[in-house]
Amino acid sequence: MKRSRWREHSFFMASRHLARSIAMQSLYEWDFNDRDTARLPAIMEKNIAEFGPGLEEIEFIHRIVVGVIEHHDAIDEIIAKAAPEWPIAQIAIVDRNILRVGLYELLYGNREEVPPKVAINEAIELAKNFGGDTSGKFVNGVLGTIYREIGEPGKDYPTREELAKKREEEAKHSEENKESGSAAAGREDRGPEKAKKHKVVSKGKKKKKGK
């Protein structure tokens, strides 16, 4: 890559990172203030003026924030399934909004514009910059789990309904295997009894023949 193009790319990535930071900050304030969606436009405007004056990625900020709000219930449900030991209300407010931003980009964003691994890496960087000591590792673990489930880039990404159906089918298949295993075990338990009976019958036949 030529130096001029590298500078442009670096500037673009830095602008996008700042835009994600502002989106996360806005979602943090929304979450902290009882999720009052009516206040979001004013919150975003304030944060853009304070942290990103002159930033060109305003539309990108709005897209993330509006997208997270729109898919909020689905996103939180997926986070809860990926981190069952951490109820969503117990996840630090910064971490859970970083997860929401990362998961929105991972599942609902333009994957040509923001590849899945870029979405994950950006979320990890946000966690390192704004979260606690273990936030980066936590965010990496949760998003990595979800990424492995939905597949590699280039594949068709399943919808939330398809993921739920897949889990249901896997659970049903697992239950069928257990039932098959129990039936097989029962047959094995009856095996010696059958063999003994067969031996007795054979013995009886031989005895009758001798008569």
**Each residue's pLDDT tens digit, 111-128:** 889 999 999 999 999 999
Q: How far is it, in rounded angstroms, from Cα 172 to Cα 8?
A: 52
**Residue 177 binned pLDDT confidence (cut-offs 50, 70, 90):** confident
**Each residue's pLDDT tens digit, 8-25:** 445 557 899 999 999 999
End-to-end, the C-alpha distance of the chain in Å comes to 100
Q: Do the Cβ atoms of 99 and 79 come closer than 8 Å?
A: yes
Count Cα neighbours of 197 within 13 Å in the Cβ-side half-sphere: 5
Contacts of 23 (CB under 8 A, 6+ apart): 60, 61, 64, 65, 68, 101
**Each residue's pLDDT tens digit, 124-153:** 999 999 999 999 999 999 999 999 987 644
Q: Whose CA is closest to 150, among 98, 82, 100?
A: 82
Domain residues of the chain, as ranges? 3-157, 160-211
**Assigned CATH class of 3-157:** mainly alpha
